[in-house]
């Protein structure tokens, strides 16, 4: 099979022939139909992101495929099934040891798992743990790239499930102008949020979110002045904020983080999903008397995948919200450069091993 291989950090991906993967007990092999390329893939491959990834490797965190062959213990999956391949693999003997297939491992203890599933989806075929493969039902092959949008939507869905967002509630999405924050707005509306206060610095993107999703979205442009930002959030919320979903990146100023988190009501929930590295300055007494839940959330539980597929199938989530750019596997390096240059919240760059030349959609 053909694969894009990262032989050394800082080198371009090399298109090579690799042996076809073979399924064993607990795994299946899929024909990869579409694999998402993130805006920061270039930073992973040049080493500047500092991701732990043993080389050489076929990178690629999950995607959309069709089952090619199954291991002896598969009970339902069968060749030809369209599936979503989930990249988060959890060790069977410890929930704290996780890897992202084809992407990175987090702890030293997870290294054996990484070595088993180091190769990911930037290839014609990929071996995946059976439990990481979820049927999505029949789709048109032409739509495979669009279904990669599931990866973007599932991350904020994990936070919204962890915080148990209920219909009618007011949610504040901090970092709503980013890829995952913007997806969080879409998912919260699909889950029935009554009002979504969307905050970020980029006014154009905020206005676009409000225009696209309608009156339930209340955009608030952050100025960096914590007092003024808190007042603007309170005005937009026009009532208690039941939950905050934070997706701010590591560059964000703490004043912006605090302005958003402190908007939560008595008894409310704060879900931290962003990349902030600095220590938060949150008052013990405010948390205690406010009976506030503060929780970190990484990715999403396995049951989120079939539920998200149902939301898409029910028309609650429209995958056409993404602007799609699709590249052939031979064009993997062009796809990585394109994704870095087009890292907007709606942009989706995808590798399609089944096509020969770049397609740009939307």
Residues near ligand NAP, by CB under 6 A = 155, 175, 177-181, 200-202, 205, 247-253, 256, 273-275, 297-299, 343
Least Å distance, CB 175 to ligand NAP, is: 5
Whose Cβ is closer to ligand NAP: residue 82's or residue 103's?
103
Minimum distance, C-beta of residue 264 to ligand NAP, in the bound complex (Å): 18
CB of 276 to ligand NAP, least distance (A): 7
- In total, the chain counts a number of residues equal to 362
Shortest approach of ligand NAP to residue 178 CB, angstroms? 2
Nearer to ligand NAP, 74 or 210 (CB): 210
Beta 27-37 vs 347-352: how paired, if at all?
antiparallel
Provide the pairing of β-strand 82-85 with 133-135. antiparallel
End-to-end CA distance of the chain: 30
Task: Give CA separation, 275 vs 224, 253, 296, 321, 356, in Å.
Answer: 18, 12, 11, 25, 36
Contact criterion met (CB below 8 Å) for 62 and 101: yes
Rounded to a whole number of angstroms, the minimum distance from the CB of residue 355 to ligand NAP is: 25
Q: Nearer to ligand NAP by C-beta: 224 or 306? A: 224
In angstroms, give the least distance from the CB of 4 to ligand NAP: 21
HEC assignment per residue over 214-247: CCCEEEEECCCCHHHHHHHHHHHHCCCEEEEEEC
Nearest residue (CB) to ligand NAP, 67 versus 222: 222
Of 226, 216, 164, 224, whose CA–CA distance to 194 is shortest? 216
C-alpha torsion sign, points 264, 270, 274, 275: positive
Strand-pair partners of 69: 29
Q: Kindly state the smallest distance separating residue 39's Cβ from ligand NAP, in Å.
A: 6
Q: What phi and psi values does residue 256 have, to the nearest 5 degrees? A: -70, -40
CB closer to ligand NAP out of 26 and 344: 344
Which CB, 139 or 343, lies closer to ligand NAP? 343
Rounded Cα distance between 299 and 292, Å, is 22
Would you say 20 or 303 has its CB closer to ligand NAP? 303
Nearer to ligand NAP, 145 or 175 (CB): 175
Where do the DSSP E strands lie in 185-308? 195-200, 217-221, 241-246, 264-272, 293-296
Instruction: State CA 352 to chain mean position distance.
Output: 19
Measured from the CB atom, the residue of 68 and 218 that comes closer to ligand NAP is 218
For the bound state, the minimum distance from the C-beta of residue 349 to ligand NAP, rounded and expressed in Å, comes to 12
Of 267 and 275, the one with the shorter C-beta distance to ligand NAP is 275
Write out the two tokens for 349. Answer: 């760059």
User: DSSP code of 123?
Assistant: B
For the CB of residue 351, give the shortest distance to ligand NAP in the complex, in Å. Answer: 18
Instruction: Encode burial over 275-308: b for 16+ CB neighbours within 10 A, e otherwise.
Output: ebeeeeebeeeeeeebebbeeebebbeeebbeeb
Q: How far is the CB of 160 from ligand NAP (least distance, A)?
A: 12
């Amino acid at each position: 099979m053909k694969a894009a291989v990262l032989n050394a950090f800082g080198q371009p991906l090399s298109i090579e022939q690799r042996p076809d993967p073979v399924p064993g007990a607990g795994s299946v092999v899929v024909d990869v139909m579409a694999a998402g390329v993130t805006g920061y893939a270039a930073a992973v491959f040049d080493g500047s992101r500092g991701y732990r990834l043993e080389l050489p490797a076929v990178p690629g965190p999950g995607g959309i495929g069709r089952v090619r062959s199954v291991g002896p213990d598969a009970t339902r999956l069968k060749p030809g099934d369209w599936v979503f391949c989930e990249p988060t693999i959890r060790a069977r003997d410890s929930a704290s040891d996780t890897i992202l297939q084809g992407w990175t491992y987090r702890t030293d203890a997870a290294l054996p798992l990484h070595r088993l599933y180091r190769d990911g989806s930037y290839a014609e075929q990929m071996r995946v743990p059976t439990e990481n493969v979820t049927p999505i039902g029949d789709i048109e092959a032409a739509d495979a790239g669009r279904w990669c949008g599931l990866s973007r939507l599932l991350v904020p869905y994990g936070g919204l499930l962890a915080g148990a967002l209920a219909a009618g509630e007011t949610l504040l999405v901090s970092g709503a102008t980013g890829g995952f924050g913007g997806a969080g707005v879409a998912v919260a509306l699909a889950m029935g949020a009554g009002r979504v206060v969307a905050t970020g610095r980029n006014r154009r993107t905020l206005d676009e979110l409000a225009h696209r999703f309608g009156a339930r979205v209340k955009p608030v442009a952050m100025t960096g002045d914590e007092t003024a930002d808190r007042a603007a959030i309170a005005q937009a919320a026009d009532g208690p904020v039941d939950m905050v979903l934070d997706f701010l990146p590591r560059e964000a100023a703490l004043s912006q983080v605090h302005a958003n988190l402190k908007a939560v009501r008595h008894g409310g929930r704060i879900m931290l999903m962003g990349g902030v590295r600095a220590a938060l300055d949150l008052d013990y007494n405010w948390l205690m008397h406010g009976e506030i839940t503060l929780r970190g959330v990484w990715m999403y539980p396995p049951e989120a995948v079939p539920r998200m597929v149902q939301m898409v199938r029910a028309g609650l989530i429209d995958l056409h919200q993404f602007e799609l750019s699709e590249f052939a596997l031979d064009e993997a390096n062009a796809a990585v450069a394109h994704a870095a240059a087009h890292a907007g919240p709606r942009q989706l760059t995808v590798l399609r091993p089944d096509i020969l030349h770049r397609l740009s959609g939307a």
